[in-house]
Structure 1
């Protein structure tokens, strides 16, 4: 099989999940506002399925929250977007090299892939070669009868393992961050999120 799996960097602007999905589905890194609307519309239309127990907040409150461009997406949003596009979305976690496939079980015939470092999502694509222009990227892969995407799957996993070896992930339970706005130090994702909510500051940098 010709080509290489490459990581296409998505800007770190709190909408990386949505823009990474936009890139793999439509080669468009600016889909976040539209995809946030899709998620809010899906959630509000089915309050039984998307209850407070699932969302962690009231349905209406969640819809307002996810429309805020400062808020991050995760598993709930990926499963909704898989259904919206009618394709599986595989997310490779660099720290554990685990792959979670959203939309699995719906017999979708195609899959797209993302990679996650604990804080940030980038897009994965098959390129004819490492330095080839992005317009040659293939980001949608046919799902085979064994529910894999064939050799592409091993290449994506190898890339995740390479990134893990380089330690290019953030251990969100114990990492230390400094707020780039006020220079306060926080430990772990929970403290970072609390600080962001209290101050509106979202410019964090990792420090050892």
Structure 2
């Protein structure tokens, strides 16, 4: 593995999950609106699979709800986006040190990585060196026969563990600064 695991910060605008996925797949941090529409269309196209019991609200209501830029995404949206892009999405949780892998049952040949601190998603990438410009980020990784992405997986997990002691205090400080700068104060999980 060449390079270092780097956390690319995604703006805290209630669309961080969608924009983080957009970044790791397309190097585009402004995909939220498009990806919200993809999710709504997927859910609307299969009301049996995406039932009220599964979604926590009626299918039609969910479809309108997920397109609201103030609403947050989570596991349902990540599983749909993994299928949409035909890639596994690894979401590393700083609080638990756990990695939730979406799309693994489909045995996709590539994987992208996100990092989640309990309130916010950022992109997890391999950068060639400290401070390298984002255009040099490697964001898509080949899934090997053993269903891992090789040494990168362990390095990413170690990075996440290092973030455990930093994140909550740092995040709340960052959230406070963000709220002060933008007037944005909706920092709560949607489920």
Q: Give 1:117 deviation, angstroms.
A: 0.5
Q: Give 1:165 deviation, angstroms.
A: 2.5
Kindly tell me the number of residue pairs found equivalent between the two proteins: 179
TM-score normalised by the chain length of structure 1: 0.82
Which protein has the bigger helix share? 2
Unaligned runs of 5+ in 2: 170-174
Which stretches of structure 1, 4 residues or longer, exceed 3 Å deviation after superposition?
Answer: none
**Quick one: distance in 1 between partners of 2:187 and 2:80?**
30
Unaligned runs of 5+ in 1: 171-176, 182-200
RMSD value, Cα: 1.9
Tell whether the 8 Å contact from 2:128 to 2:137 is kept in structure 1 after alignment.
yes
Q: Tell which structure's C-alpha radius of gyration is larger.
A: 1
SS for the counterpart of 2:123 is: strand
Change (3 A) 1:41 1:153: same
**Quick one: distance in 2 between partners of 1:98 and 1:7?**
17
- 2:46 corresponds to: 46
- 1:58 corresponds to: 58
The answer to whether structure 1 residue 203 and structure 2 residue 188 are counterparts is: no
- 2:19 corresponds to: 19
- 2:97 corresponds to: 97
Tell whether the 8 Å contact from 2:88 to 2:111 is kept in structure 1 after alignment.
yes
**Quick one: distance in 2 between partners of 1:41 and 1:105?**
22
- 2:124 corresponds to: 124
TM-score normalised by the chain length of structure 2: 0.89
Tell whether the 8 Å contact from 2:119 to 2:187 is kept in structure 1 after alignment.
no
**Quick one: distance in 2 between partners of 1:78 and 1:204?**
21
Tell whether the 8 Å contact from 2:79 to 2:102 is kept in structure 1 after alignment.
yes
Cα deviation digits, residues 177-204 of structure 1 (max 9, x gap): 98x69xxxxxxxxxxxxxxxxxxx9515
- 1:169 corresponds to: 168
